[in-house]
Structures are given as C-alpha cells and as structure tokens.
Amino acid sequence: MTYNFDEIIDRKGTDALKTDALATRYGNPDLIPLWVADMDFKSPPAVADAIIQRAKHGIFGYTCPSQEYYNSIINWIGTQHEWKVKQEWITFIPGIVKGIAFVLDCFTQKDHQVIIQPPVYHPFRIIPTMHKRTVIDNPLLLQAGQYKMDLDGLKRLIEPASKVLILCNPHNPGGRVWTRQELTDIAEICHEHKILVISDEIHSDLAFAPHKHIPFASVSDKAAQNSITFMAPSKTFNIAGIVSSYAIIPNEELRDKFSHYLESSELSEGHIFAYLAAQAAYEYGNEWLVQAKDYIWKNIRFVDEYLKANIPQIKAMVPEASFLVWLDCKELNLSQKDLVSLFADDAKLALNDGVMFGQGGEGYMRMNVGTPLANIQKALDNLKKAVNAKQTNS
C-alpha cells in the first residue's frame, strides 16, 4: 500500500495542541504550526481499524494488557533494534515525561542532583526542578556541525549527590544517534558513580540510514543493570494523544521498586485503546513507517537545500533521527527576542524557541518537518521574505 503524506489535513477544531493552542502560546491562531513534536500525517490505518473494531463492541470496561500486546513490543524491539527484551521487564507508563517524574520521585530525594546534557528536551530540566531536585548541566560539545557528549566534563561535575542522568537517545533537538562507544562510555561512568540512567528513546524508530539506533541498556551489562529505558510508539506512528508508553527495566531490584511505586497509585494500568493502538502499530505499521521516514528525510533535505540556496544565514543541523530540525540562526545577528519575533510575527511561523532547550539553545529555533511538503515550502518562503525585509530595513 502506498500512503499519501502530501495530504493536507485541517487539524483546527480537533483540540490538537499544535493548532488549537496557537492563540494562547503565540498570540496568533493563524500561524503555520511547525512546533510541538507530533506529525500532520494520518497514523497507520491499522491503528484506526483496531480502535474502531473495538469501539463497535460497545462495552468499555476495565481492561488488561494481552499477551499479544507484550509480544508486539518484544518482536518490534528485537527486529528493529536487535535487543532481546523479556516480558517481565516491561511495564506500561502513562507518558514518558510522567515516567521521568515517577523515577525521580521513586529513586531520589530533594537534595539529590539530576544531570542533563543541554541543549536538550526541556522537560528534562523542568520536571526535576519542579520536584525540587538540583539540575546539573553537562553541555554537549558542538563539533563539525553536530553534537558530541562531553565525557570529561561529566566526570568533573559528578558529586556524591549526583543520582540520576537523563539521556536523550536519540537526541532532541539535535537529532544525534549516539554511537555504541558513546553509550558504553556513559554506562561505565554512571555505573562507577552509582548514577541511575534514564534513557528516553521515544525517537528510536526514526533513525535514518546509515545511522542505527542502539538501545542504551543493550550496550553492556553495566548499562542494563543501571538504567530504566522509556519507549513508545507515539512519535513513530503519530499516536501521542493515545498515550501508550512503557518502561523497560532489566534489573530486578530496580524493577521491583519502580513497579511497587507505580502499582501503589495504579499508574501502571493503561486504558483499553493504549494497548490496542500500540499492538496494531507494531504488528502492522512497519510499511507505513518505511514510507513515512522516506518522506520525512526528503523534507529534511529540502529544508537544508532551501536554506543554503535562499537563506544562508540560517543553517540546518541535519538530524540523524527524528522529524525535528535544529536551525542555527546566529548569523542573523538578532537577539533571541527579535529572532522569535522574526519567525512568529514577521514570517507567521510557530517554531520552538531554542532557549527553552537550555544552555546552548541561544540563537536556535526547532522546526518540525513531519508535515506535508507544501506546508514546509510555504513556511520557508515566508521566512525568506521576512529575513530579506529585516535586512533591508536594518
């Protein structure tokens, strides 16, 4: 089956955060929305079919995960990422950001430190801060236009109070697919200092060849025994609103403690469509994903080539994974406030302000290219006009 990713689907009025929060977040409901990380593509038909068929049954009582649900996860991870996961390692969680909060609440105290590697997905900073944990930045190094982990810097900043490192694997917003050696090095350091690793792998299925996602826990026994991995079909198949995340914990002691924490508040129980959607996506969504990734990659190349030809002051960090493009706008020589205004007020575009991703995000904007090419063409044309007008008037 050939899927039509060029189809323009109006999401306004569906309570979609991406469109229906524009007035609140940006002050203008009519911006081209290229911000929050979901896609403007219909999910695999099998997902909707599974939900519709179940809905026709007409009874929506208490539910439990089926054996087929677990099998779909195990088979998917084994096929896609060559990681043999056991069923007892898996537990449902009601969202990865919530999962991070649960881990912090379960395994740390208010005087403990949480290490992050900015610029990085902003809840990594926000959630620990709101839970009164101290966030320690170990900024990524920018080398040859791409990010690298500062392992020496990590060793220097570790203190006895350092208890958790939150790893973005693959990286958001830069799109790095970390190498086996990088992950192994992180595992060694954290194991030595008894620092629990939370590996957020929500973008794991969206790596572009020749890059290949490597699950953190798969690189060594030290990694497996000292980590909690979070995965979900949400970014992969555009079903974030269904909420079907899960944790994978090989270490029995960690798993028992975390499971007890979740079960004490019934946080490990998914709703009926969470299980169904995940299973359907994993069992029948692979061909859709292959075509979606091909389309997204062409969008990424289009953005990169358009900027080079028309707005060379803005440079795209070509991602190795995901549908998010990190735009380096520093050569525009604008303050961050004026940069955000250029995109939103002048170009009529809603992108994510780079500053929200923390240290190193100044001068950047994050662009979501998981949308029909026509939207991207219009957005970049708007941006080109806005930049030219800004320079003419300066």
pLDDT tens sequence across 244-278:
999 999 999 999 999 999 999 999 999 999 999 99
User: CA 394 to CA 63: how far, in whole Å?
Assistant: 62
- Residue 261: CA atoms inside 13 Å, Cβ hemisphere, count? 20
CA–chain centroid gap for 102, Å, is 18
Cβ 116 vs Cβ 137: under 8 Å: yes
Query: What does the pLDDT read at residue 393?
Result: 80
The 8-class DSSP code of residue 211 comes to: -
Residue 70's nearest CA partner among 47, 40, 91, 50 is 91
Which helix (H) or strand (E) is 293 found in, with range?
helix 286-310
For β-strands 324-328 and 141-143, DSSP reports them as unpaired
Residue 70's nearest CA partner among 279, 245, 269 is 279
Start and end residues for every CATH 3.40.640.10 domain found in the chain: 61-284
Work out the number of other CB atoms within 10 angstroms of the CB of residue 103.
24
- Residue 361: CA atoms inside 13 Å, Cβ hemisphere, count? 22
Residue 162's nearest CA partner among 184, 190, 132, 120 is 190
Query: What does the pLDDT read at residue 112?
Result: 98
Given the candidates 3.40.30.110, 3.90.1010.10, 3.90.1150.10, 2.40.110.10, the CATH classification of the domain at 17-44+286-386 is: 3.90.1150.10
Cβ 143 vs Cβ 294: under 8 Å: no
Query: What does the pLDDT read at residue 391?
Result: 84
- The class level of CATH for 61-284 reads alpha beta
Which tokens go with 189? 């350091």
Which tokens go with 368? 């979501």
pTM for the model: 0.97
Q: Which residues contact 262 (CB under 8 A, 6 or more apart)?
A: 91, 93, 102, 268
Residues with pLDDT less than 50, the chain: none
Which tokens go with 177? 């697919």
- Where do the DSSP E strands lie in the chain? 32-33, 90-93, 113-116, 134-137, 141-143, 146-148, 162-168, 196-200, 227-231, 245-248, 315-317, 324-328, 349-350, 352-353, 364-368
Start and end residues for every CATH 3.90.1150.10 domain found in the chain: 17-44+286-386
Q: Which residues contact 159 (CB under 8 A, 6 or more apart)?
A: 113
